[in-house]
Structure 1
Amino acid sequence: MEFLLIFFIGICATTVGTLAGGGGLISLPAMLLMGIPVHSAIGANKVSNTVSSFSSFFHLYKNGDISLKESIWIIPVSVGGGISGGFIASRISEDHMYIVAIILLVFAFITSFIGKKDFAGDASLKMNKFSIPGLYGIGMYDGLFGPGQGTLMLYLFGYLQISYIRAVGLVRLATFSSCFGAAITYIAADKIIWSFTCALLFGSVAGAQIGVRIAKKLKPKFVKPILRIVTIALIVQIVVNNVL
């Protein structure tokens, strides 16, 4: 029964995470409430996100929604940012990481109202003074703390006038890149409970496929309201966790 529950948690979390980021809002607290040790729960999320993120990216790539020429450079930038974030995280306090997370999410929330871009553009992703620092910085944040990484990336791609469905594919590729290294770390540290992890993984792969299909039908004008709801939920979760 536990494995079936985790499977459905994976479906729900990754469907939401694919559409607007923040899937960890669902999966991580749910697994902790089930009594799964925190490191094993985080490790399960990293392993499942690695596979599910790649599966959704590959689906969009196979269907011609995104190209490797446009997206492949995201991998080293995101990995480099994640490594930098992990290095910094080992040298600053947890309280400071919470503050960084809240500031970034509040900033993204406010700018979503100021900016007029709504994912209706069709620009190509190029290496420039906005995309490289933006992706590197969010990758650093992912290595530093994590919650909201996908949401922040969607805000960035919206600003860069990337169409929504391509933005989803680019976020999933970046998530695969940042989670891959973390997953290897947790496996090497023997923190993985494979029965729970596999249940979450199968649910996450199913959720990723559901998410990309919904994303193709979602009108751009609905994307920012969904992002704002997820952003508020992330801020509330971080504040509550810090207070408690």
Structure 2
Amino acid sequence: MDYLVLFCIGVTATTIGTLAGGGGLISLPAMLMLGMPIHSAIGANKVSNMVSSFSSFFTLFRRKQITLKESFWLVPFSLGGGVTGGVIAAQLSSESLYIVAVILLAFAFGTSFIGKGGFSGTEPLKLTPVSGPGLFGIGIYDGLFGPGQGTLMLYLFSYLNIAYVKSVGLVRLATFSSCFGAAISYILSGAIIWPLTLALMAGSVTGAQLGVRIAEKLRPDYVKPILRVVTALLIVQLIADNVM
């Protein structure tokens, strides 16, 4: 029964995560409620995210929605930011991490109402004084805390006037990059419960493909409202978790 539940969790969390980010705040609490040890749950999340993120990126790359030239330079920025964030996280309390997460998500939520971007643009991703530091900064956040990383990146790409489907592919590549090192670490540590992880992974890959297909049909003017709803829910859950 747990395998079926984990498969459904993977489908739901990754579909939502592909469209608007925030999938980790669905899958991780659900796995903990099923009784998985915390390190095994986080490890399962990282392994499944690594595989599902690459599958959705590769699907969009194969359909020529995204090119290697404009996408692969973001990998070192995401990796470098993630490593930096991991180092900083070791020096901060969990309460401080929650405060940072809420402030960043609230800032993104507020700017979504005044930002010029709306995912209807046709600009390629280029290294600029905004894109480079932005990707590195979000990478730091991912290494510091993580939940909401994909949502913040979508806000960044919206500001950069990049089309929504292309933005989804870029976010998934960045997520693959940031999860890769963490997944390897959890595998080597022996924390992975493989039968449960594989069930979650199967659901995540299914959800990633479902999310990509929905994204290709989603009208750009619907994306910002969806992002705002997800962001508001992320903020509420983070505050509730910290209070409890």
Q: Do these two structures clear the TM 0.5 threshold for a shared fold by scoring above it?
A: yes
- TM-superposed CA distance for 1:219, in Å, is 0.3
Q: CA deviation at 1:116?
A: 3.0
> How far does the alpha carbon of each residue in 1:51-83 deviate from its partner, in whole angstroms, 9 at most, with x for none?
000000000000000000000101111000000
1:100 partnered with 2:100: yes
Instruction: For 1:98, give the aligned amino acid.
Output: Y
C-alpha distance in 1 between matches for 2:155 and 2:48? 24
TM-superposed CA distance for 1:86, in Å, is 0.3
Give the TM-score, by structure 1 length: 0.99
* Superposed counterparts of 1:36-55, under 5 Å: 36-55=36-55
Residue 30 of structure 1 is matched in structure 2 by 30
Name the amino acid aligned to 1:33: M
Does structure 1 residue 150 correspond to structure 2 residue 131?
A: no
Q: Counterpart in 2 of 1:234?
A: 234
Which amino acid counterpart does residue 143 of structure 1 have in structure 2?
G
Unmatched 5+ residue regions in structure 1?
A: none
1:124 is aligned to 124
State the secondary structure of the residue aligned to 1:120.
coil
Q: Distance in 1 between matches of 2:216 and 2:73?
A: 24
Indicate the SS of the match to 2:112.
helix
State the secondary structure of the residue aligned to 1:114: coil
Cα distance between partner residues in 2 of 1:133 and 1:68: 20
Shift of 1:93: 1.1
Matching residue of 2:89: 89
Partner of 2:193: 193
CA deviation after TM superposition for structure 1 residue 38, in Å: 1.1
| TM-score between the two structures when normalised by the length of structure 2 | 0.99
Q: What residue is the counterpart of 1:110 in the other structure?
A: 110
Letter in 1 for 2:58: F
3-state SS of paired residue (1:182): helix
Are 1:172 and 2:200 counterparts? no
Deviation at 1:25, TM superposition (A): 2.0
State the distance in 2 between where 1:33 and 1:196 align: 14
Alignment match, 1:212: 212
Q: Does 1:78 align with 2:86?
A: no
Which stretch has the larger CA shift, 116-125 or 130-139? 116-125
| Percent identity over paired residues | 67
Deviation at 1:95, TM superposition (A): 1.0
| In 2, Cα distance between equivalents of 1:90 and 1:25 | 21
How many residue pairs are counted as aligned between the two chains? 244
Which of structure 1's runs of 4+ aligned residues deviate more than 4 A?
none
Of stretches 219-228 and 181-190 in structure 1, the one that deviates more from structure 2 is 181-190
Paired position in structure 1 for 2:7: 7
Q: Aligned Cα RMSD in Å?
A: 0.6
